């Protein structure tokens, strides 16, 4: 089993034990739904409140994981992210607190169980991963990497995607320019 597979399984188990709903997102999800690429971290969206995140951080085996309690509490309050670091490998897991907005709530409610590196885990759908990648690209001023990830998912899943759903959020989140750029990007 690869390092990332072990980390994914271990973090998923910790989150399940803490009763914290989560989903795999980001580049890892786009690699499952599209064309694989290397990534330096694992992004998990979590739906958590302060009390539960405090209990979760306290429950982490200190010899295995590093997490900053203050950063976690701040991330919950501001609905941003904090990190877990696997002390044995140095791998970073980004725990992204689900935002309180219509797209993020719908994205989280649509998560599906997928097989990834030998683990059966909740994951953002291909459509929602495309939308999230478009948002990241827009936020960074036009990321070719994010656009290539979108293009890879379109190539691999194109006819099976819910294009109406994607276009609804592209319009609502004002991502038309990124969508057009992603369609022109070559992988």
d(CA 140, CA 125): 22
- pLDDT of 128 reads 97
pLDDT of residue 85: 94
Whole-Å CA distances, 167 to 55, 62, 85, 128: 39, 45, 36, 11
* Secondary structure tally for the chain: helices H, strands E: 9, 7
Helix locations, the chain, DSSP H: 3-17, 26-33, 50-59, 69-78, 102-109, 126-139, 144-157, 163-172, 176-184
pLDDT at 40: 67
Domains, the chain, ranges and CATH?
3-102+110-124 (3.30.460.40), 127-184 (no CATH)
* Distance of alpha carbon 151 from alpha carbon 34, whole angstroms: 8
**Which residues sit opposite 99 in a β-bridge?**
none
Residues 89-116 pLDDT 10s: 888 999 999 999 999 999 999 999 988 7
pLDDT at 1 over 50: no
- Using the predicted structure, report yes or no on whether residue 187 has a pLDDT greater than 60: no
When mean pLDDT is compared over 7-16, 45-54, 136-145, 178-187, the highest value belongs to 45-54
Q: Tell me the pLDDT tens digit for each residue of 9-48.
A: 999 999 999 999 999 999 889 988 988 777 667 899 999 9
- Please report the pLDDT score of residue 176 as a whole number: 96
């Amino acid at each position: 089993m690869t390092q990332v597979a072990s980390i994914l399984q271990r973090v998923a188990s910790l989150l399940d034990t803490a009763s914290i709903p989560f989903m795999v997102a980001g580049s890892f999800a786009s690699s499952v739904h599209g064309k694989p690429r290397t990534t330096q971290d694992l992004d998990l969206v979590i739906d958590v409140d302060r009390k539960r995140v405090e209990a979760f951080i306290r429950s982490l085996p200190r010899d295995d994981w590093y997490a900053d309690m203050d950063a976690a509490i701040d991330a919950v309050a501001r609905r941003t992210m904090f990190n877990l670091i696997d002390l044995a490998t140095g791998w970073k897991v980004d725990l992204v607190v689900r935002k309180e907005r219509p797209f993020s709530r719908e994205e989280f409610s649509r998560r599906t169980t997928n097989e990834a590196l030998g683990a059966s885990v909740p994951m953002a759908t291909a459509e929602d991963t495309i939308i999230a990648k478009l948002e990241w690209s827009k936020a960074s001023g036009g990321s070719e990497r994010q656009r290539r990830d979108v293009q890879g998912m379109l190539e691999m899943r194109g006819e099976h995607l819910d294009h109406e759903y994607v276009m609804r959020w592209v319009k609502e989140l004002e991502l038309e320019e990124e969508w057009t750029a992603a369609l022109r990007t070559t992988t």
